[in-house]
Amino acid sequence: MPSLKIAVYNGVKNVGIRESELPQISHPEDVIVRVDRASICGSDLYIYRGDLHATMSPGVSGLGHEMVGHIVEVGSEVKRFKVGDRITAAYSVSCGQCDSCRQGVTAHCETTNKAVYGFGNAFGGMGGAQAEYMRIPYAEAHSEKIPDSISDDQAFFVSCNLPAAIRGIQNAQIKLGDFVGIIGLGTVGQLALRLAAKSGASRLFAIDKNPSRLKRAREIGAETILSGPNVKEQVLEMTGGKGLDAVIEAAGQPDAFDLSLSLLRPGGKYSGLGVYLGDNHPFNIGDVFLRDLNLSTHGFDNTHPNMWTAIRVIERGLIDPSQLITHRYALDDIAQAYQMFDQASDDVIKIAIHPQGL
């Protein structure tokens, strides 16, 4: 039987390539996709570093959830797509018909039980996108066809990072003239920064520990602050003691959450994009109440509702996410790609994976 290569989790900070049988149509709403481009998401590092080890099957569990590719086979009930179409799929697998999906909370699909590509047995045991081919169940419910005007390098951002950043902007409710902070300038933070610049913010404050990422923020007009013990004092000085109207937190660290709240002016809005897995972190709810702060998170993100918005954002030239790609690897070199991404050297932001070869 024909085989394919897939990236698999072998153990803590140990990923590799395994030969596997080609995926097959197992449900009439499935499609099979040849993956042309994939990537490593910041959330994949939770797996790589062993935080989800108990949910993984070493040597078996596939990796990755960001992708774009061409359909090579369709199930009998698939009407919206055909063989040859280029599509991307939301990272969370949703049926489109259950109560959660109908309310737009697609990441909490009751049919798939919150399944996520490449995230182990606790999230559906789905195959990953860091593979030559993958099966996409319920394809019509959480996939979108990619227009010819959008490149593969742009398209894979539509599966996760760009819709997440869009939701962060929506939750921040940015108004014309607002002072907006972005904490954490990885891929999602960089995208949110660029979207905030297009959403009416009059001043952008970019905060990160990485000088190279701050340099990228300055290139689009942001005022930058190197992470440290005096960030709050610097922001207050820069804003005449007022603080920020909104903070988009894309770091996923408890101290970044605390910092975000401290930077907000009364009535300010916290928009959380960072990933928190089981963190138990106390904070002063009385302070939130007395200062009329508004807190919202993207949580277990409902990507699909914003995928078409992400496509329009790229098509209309508002931002080009492919500018954030800093490195490229063939699928065979997936171990080196993860190692580089994990080390977070100064110049690494987004790594593109080429399953069909460079």
Q: Which pLDDT does position 22 carry in this prediction? A: 93
Do 314 and 290 lie in one domain? The reply is no
Give the model's pLDDT for residue 128.
95
- pLDDT, residue 82, reads 98
Q: How many residues does the chain have?
A: 358
What is the pLDDT, as a whole number, of residue 280? Answer: 84
Domain that holds residue 337: 3-160+302-354
The reported pLDDT for the residue numbered 345 is 73
7 with 138, same domain?
yes
CB-CB contact of 109 with 167 (8 Å): no
Question: How many independent structural domains does the chain possess?
Answer: 2
User: Are both 120 and 247 inside the same structural domain?
Assistant: no
Identify the CATH number of the domain in which residue 290 sits.
3.40.50.720
| Full DSSP string of 68-94 | EEEEEEE-TT--S--TT-EEEE-SB--
Structure confidence by residue, pLDDT tens digits, 75-119: 999 999 999 999 999 999 999 999 999 998 888 999 998 899 999
- Say which CATH number the domain at 144 has: 3.90.180.10
pLDDT of 130 reads 98
**Tally: H helices and E strands in the chain:** 12, 15
Residue 110 and residue 31 in one domain: yes
Spatial CA neighbour of 247 closest among 313, 198, 307, 203? 203
- Same domain assignment for residues 318 and 243: no
8 Å CB contact between 178 and 200: yes
Give the pLDDT of residue 335: 98
Which among 249, 276, 297 is the end of a domain?
297
One domain, residues 196 and 234: yes
Last residue of one domain, picked from the residues 267, 297, 327: 297
177 SS3 class:
coil
Q: Where are the beta strands (DSSP E) in the chain?
A: 3-11, 14-21, 31-39, 67-74, 86-89, 133-136, 143-145, 179-183, 203-208, 223-226, 244-249, 264-272, 294-297, 325-330, 350-354
Going from the first residue of the chain to its last (358 residues), give the mean pLDDT of each consecutive group of 10, the final group possibly shorter.
87 96 95 98 93 91 97 97 98 94 90 92 90 97 97 98 95 97 97 96 96 94 94 97 97 94 98 83 93 88 86 97 97 97 87 96
- Residues 87 and 35 occupy one common structural domain: yes
